[in-house]
Amino acid sequence: MDPQSLHVLIVDDSAVVREVMTAVLSQEPGISVAVAADPFIAMGKIKQQRPDVIILDLEMPRMDGLTFLQKIVREDPIPVVICSALTGPGTAIGLQALEEGAVEVVTKPRLAVREFLHESAVILIDAVRAASRSQARSRRSFSSSPRLTADAVLPARPRSPIGVTTETVVAMGASTGGTEALRIIFEAMSSDAPGIVVVQHMPEGFTAAFAQRLNRTSGIEVKEAADGDRIVTGRALIAPGNRHLIVRREGTQYAVGVIDGPLVSRHRPSIDVLFRSVAQSAGPNAIGLILTGMGNDGAEGLLELKNAGAFTLAQDESSCVVFGMPKEAVERGAVDKVTSLPRIAHEIMNAELHKQRRSTGTRQSN
């Protein structure tokens, strides 16, 4: 099979949807399609030929789509695009599907589905191709597809000089399972926690609702980042879906930039881009954290943070939904400490306390 060809499995109980999606996808060069009317039939098809991408409805007989998604992620991670009438931007079930490991969500209407699918052919094809390049991709490597580094957005350069009065920046990166991990960490944070910037791999249209949900239960303020937002004590800024998040030094303070750019490490926003910007702007005043997720986005960036003098953490395997990104970071020597999810907030606050004591001691000795 050509390395660029894709095999897509459509799992939907609607014969109309299966028919139209097959027609839409089959017209695209390099895409072959199989269909299944429910997850049980789909499991048989997967045994016959493992797909590169699954398009999955949520409302189906015998087994609902979320349950099947959980099964796929835990047993044999295959990129899944959810295509459902239930998953409008910001909906709870859409967020849950992303939390469970879906790499993209396409909302279809309850009426005029045939017309929608034909009109949205480009969206559907783009979603499939993006999913195939995701970190949840097939074991078969798409070696000839370009994989850009942070250089494509933010060239490597020496970090800015750091003054002793500069505040700490905590940079976090997460993917599959990260929404729950971030909830646990933020709920354990107090209002005097250092400023936090986060990349959570999530499609456009969901990050604002995700941030609002976290804000309701967290011990800190949580918001979707806007260009120019200050990084301040007791606040976490979440990268908007489909935009890169960077940190800039402004005197002894920091602010974020929300920018466009190509996919980096097959993601936008990319953790590698965020981590590089924090390494350059904050250096030893930073704390880097890599959380649960598939693939390796963030591993190189965390190493850059460590080399710049930052304290770096990784979530341990037993508490990860997928020990992909942390494992890659550990293998690169990018991690100072591996710790369990329930202890991460404590480790961050403890590192900040030690930093403040060292800073106080330095000023007193002078």
Return phi, psi of residue 36, to 5°. Answer: -150, 140
CA within 13 Å, CB half, 352: 22
- Pick the catalytic residue: 84, 132, 134, 175? 175
Give catalytic status of residue 272 as yes or no: no
Q: Which residues lie below 8 Å from residue 74, measured CB to CB, with a gap of 6+?
A: none
**Active-site residue 346, yes or no?**
no
Catalytic residue among 52, 57, 132, 201: 201
**Which amino acid belongs to residue 313?**
L
Residue 64 has phi, psi (to 5 degrees) of -75, 160
Catalytic residue among 132, 297, 316, 319: 297
Q: Is position 229 annotated as part of the catalytic site? A: no
The closest of 301, 287, 272 to 351, measured between CA atoms, is 287
Residue 267 is classified by DSSP as B
For helices 178-187 and 207-217, angle between their N-to-C axes, nearest 10 degrees:
30
User: Cβ distance 315 to 291 under 8 Å?
Assistant: yes
Give the three-state DSSP class for 115.
helix
What DSSP state is assigned to residue 364? H
Instruction: State how beta strands 6-11 and 53-56 pair.
Output: parallel
User: Could you give the residue numbers annotated as active site?
Assistant: 175, 201, 297
